[in-house]
């Protein structure tokens, strides 16, 4: 994959999104999964399934952000 040009502000915004996804969002979904597990049988637990799906989406977002940052080329717009 080629380098993707972006401003310092754009790079910083992606870093912040990644930080939030890894810390706040991940922790929130871990708690949701724990609560859903408390509802009993996981095979018929809609809350658990929804939380696991949400976890998958967050992990996908994290990978995409990491990929973008890996291929970023910060440019000076002055």
6-54 pLDDT per residue, tens: 999 999 999 999 999 999 999 999 999 999 888 878 778 889 999 999 9
Q: Tokens in use for 36?
A: 């859903």
Residue 24 contacts residue 32 (beta carbons within 8 Å):
no
| pTM to 2 decimal places | 0.85
Residue 73 contacts residue 10 (beta carbons within 8 Å):
no
Q: Tokens in use for 77?
A: 């717009």
Q: What's the CA dihedral at 18, 20, 24, 25 to 10 degrees?
A: -50
């Amino acid at each position: 994959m080629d380098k993707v040009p972006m401003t310092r502000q754009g790079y910083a915004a992606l870093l912040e999104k990644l930080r939030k996804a890894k810390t706040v969002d991940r922790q929130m979904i871990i708690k949701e999964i724990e609560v859903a597990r408390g509802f009993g049988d996981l095979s018929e637990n809609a809350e658990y399934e929804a939380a696991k799906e949400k976890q998958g989406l967050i992990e996908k977002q994290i990978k995409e952000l990491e990929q973008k940052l890996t291929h970023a080329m910060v440019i000076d717009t002055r």
